[in-house]
Structure 1
Amino acid sequence: MSDKIIQFNEGVIKDELKELVRTSVEETLNGLLDQEAAQLTGAGKYERTEGRKGYRSGSYKRKLGTTSGEVELKVPKLKGVSFETAIIERYRRRESSVE
């Protein structure tokens, strides 16, 4: 009877897991920023409502250093409402845990 030997490359597995966590953090933060913008404007993307307080005017990209790697955030730009996110401090480029 032949025994099958399975070998794992630990470095590749760690890299894949780190990338998976990084993309998950990036998607979560971008989702939170979108949700916060929708809450401030009173409407979602492309949504028309009577109680709308402001309008979206695109977004700009910003990098943020996290413990799982550098993520690229799409920060919404708003018209009629000032957007100061509670998620990330203004001018902050790294998480406090990274420093």
Structure 2
Amino acid sequence: MSEKIVQLNEEAIKGQLKELVRGSVEETLNELLEAEAEKLTQAARYERNEQRQGYRSGHYSRNLTTTSGDVTLKVPKLKGISFETAIIERYRRRESSVE
């Protein structure tokens, strides 16, 4: 009576977990970039106020290799102020732990 009722494919589970983690990392980094842009402009997207310090001008895509896999970042472009993120060093394409 000790038959295996459910058979698990460990490789498939590992692949799905890795993709889930990679997606979470990508989403978190993109949200951090958006929050940083909002803080610099002192306004949310499409918000009008007196304290606004520049304007958004879309995004550009940037690939970053992490220990969780390759992620695509949507880096905000700003007009009127320079945007240098503290999250990713300029010109860096790999997370330091990957090197």
Name the counterpart of 1:91.
Answer: 91
Name the counterpart of 2:57.
Answer: 57
- Partners of 2:7 and 2:50 in 1: CA distance: 61
Q: How far apart are residue 4 of structure 1 and its match?
A: 6.1
Q: How far apart are residue 5 of structure 1 and its match?
A: 1.0
User: What are the equivalent positions in structure 2 for 1:1-99 lying under 5 Å apart?
Assistant: 5-99=5-99
| Structure 2: stretches of 5+ with no match in the other structure | none
- Partners of 1:72 and 1:6 in 2: CA distance: 36
- Partners of 2:27 and 2:86 in 1: CA distance: 17
Cα displacement string for residues 13-42 of structure 1 (whole angstroms, at most 9, x for unaligned residues): 000000000000000000000000000001
Query: What's the % identity of the aligned pairs?
Result: 73
What's the secondary structure of 2:29's corresponding residue? helix
Q: How far apart are residue 88 of structure 1 and its match?
A: 0.2
What residue identity is the alignment partner of 1:45?
R
| Structure 1: stretches of 5+ with no match in the other structure | none
Per the normalisation by structure 2, the TM-score is 0.96
After the TM superposition, which segments of 4 or more aligned residues of structure 1 sit over 2 Å from their partners?
none
- Partners of 1:23 and 1:48 in 2: CA distance: 32
What residue identity is the alignment partner of 2:90?
R
What's the secondary structure of 1:96's corresponding residue? coil
What's the secondary structure of 1:43's corresponding residue? coil
Per the normalisation by structure 1, the TM-score is 0.96
